[in-house]
Structure formats: structure tokens, C-alpha cells
Amino acid sequence: LQRMLSIAVEVDKSPNCSSCKIADAIFPFILNIPLRSQREAFLNTMESQLLRCKLLELLFQHSCDVPTTLPLCLAKILYFLSHSSVLLPYEDETAAWQRWDEMLQYLSLLLMSYQNVILAFSLAEHLRSSLNDRMDLIIQKAKPKLQDGDDISHLDIQLNVERFISRMQQVLGQPFPQQIMEKLHMLR
């Protein structure tokens, strides 16, 4: 399945457009995957970084009370950190902190996938371009185009992390489980 999805993204002249269409079609099924382990297995085994970005972006947009109109960029990922709620329905026995832990896991996965699509200095740097155009970009040693929202400061990061911690304190109380703090530190 993952190989077929990757090929489906690549065969289109515009991988960006085809990944959006495929993500829109797959998204309702992601919402109905019952277990975290199954959701993580599906998302972690995706061969197409671009498709993974689109699916995770839809997932976070779905979890925001006020969705943002920013294109996918670092500023949007920070927005998701401070505005997303628990992402998916959970089994009754799942502790509240585990729901937040899953959200942080997916946010880290979104950030890594986004970096692979936009910022990596390899063949992956041009994943938004068609296969034909990609070869020309590699030959020209073209640098990937950054979005306007990719220029974020340490202060932006700090403020959004503090907002996230404040929201978690309201829901979970203190102290936070070590696992949450480690994921937050890694994301930062």
C-alpha cells in the first residue's frame, strides 16, 4: 500500500497537487483507525514524505478550533503546537497524558517530514517538483524554496512552547510525565 501511494504521488506532473488529493481521500480512514499503534505504523511506514506531510497537516487542521490559512511552514507547525487539541478519539483506558504524547509524536513526525520535503540537501529536497523537473533542479544545484513562514525566531518557539505547557497544565495538572517533557524538548 505504501509503495502504491508513493507511486501515485510521483506519477502526477505536480506531486504537491496529487499528494493533496490522495491525503483528502485517505484522511477519513485515518480518523477511524482505532489504535495508536496502528496509526503510528501507518504514518511511520509512509514512503512519500510529501504525502505524510499532507496527512499530518490535515490531522492537525482537524484538531484546531480555529484552523489557520498558512501554507505548510515552520510557523504553521508552531501554530499547531499551541492550538491543537487531542487529535483522535481514544479508547477509554487511554490516559490523558498519552493523548498529548501522541500529539507531540505526530508533530515531531510532521516537522521531520517537512524538513525532508523542504530543507534536506539531497534528492528529497525537490519533492514538490515533478520527476522530470527534479533532475533539472539537481543538475542546477538549485536550493529549495522556503516559505515566508519558515523564518521563525527562538522567541516564537519559546512563546508557543509556553502556550502548549500552559494548556497541558490546565488539562493534566503537574508534574508532567517525563515522556512528555522529553518529546517537547526534542521538538523544541
Question: What's the pLDDT at 180?
Answer: 84
Which value, in Å, is the radius of gyration of the alpha carbons in the chain?
17
Question: What's the pLDDT at 128?
Answer: 53
Give kind and range of the element (H or E) at residue 24: helix 15-31
The strand pairing partners of 145, in sequence order, are: none
More confident residue, 141 or 157: 157
Any residues with CB less than 8 A from the CB of 6 and at least 6 apart, and which?
Answer: 46, 47, 48, 51
Average predicted confidence (pLDDT) for the chain = 80
* pLDDT 10s digits, 10-62: 776 777 788 889 899 999 999 888 888 999 999 999 988 889 999 999 999 99
Which of 105-114, 115-124, 135-144, 158-167 reaches the highest mean pLDDT? 105-114
Question: What's the pLDDT at 181?
Answer: 83
pLDDT over 70 (residue 169): yes
Any residues with CB less than 8 A from the CB of 155 and at least 6 apart, and which?
Answer: none
**At 64, is the secondary structure helix, strand, or coil?**
strand
C-alpha cell read off for 155: 522567541
Q: What is the pTM of this model?
A: 0.80
Question: What's the pLDDT at 122?
Answer: 42
Question: What's the pLDDT at 28?
Answer: 93
Mean of pLDDT values over 72-94:
76
- C-alpha to C-alpha distance for 143 and 118, rounded to whole angstroms: 9
Angle between helices 96-114 and 154-172 (to 10 degrees): 160
Q: Which residue in this structure is represented by grid cell 498519552? A: 98
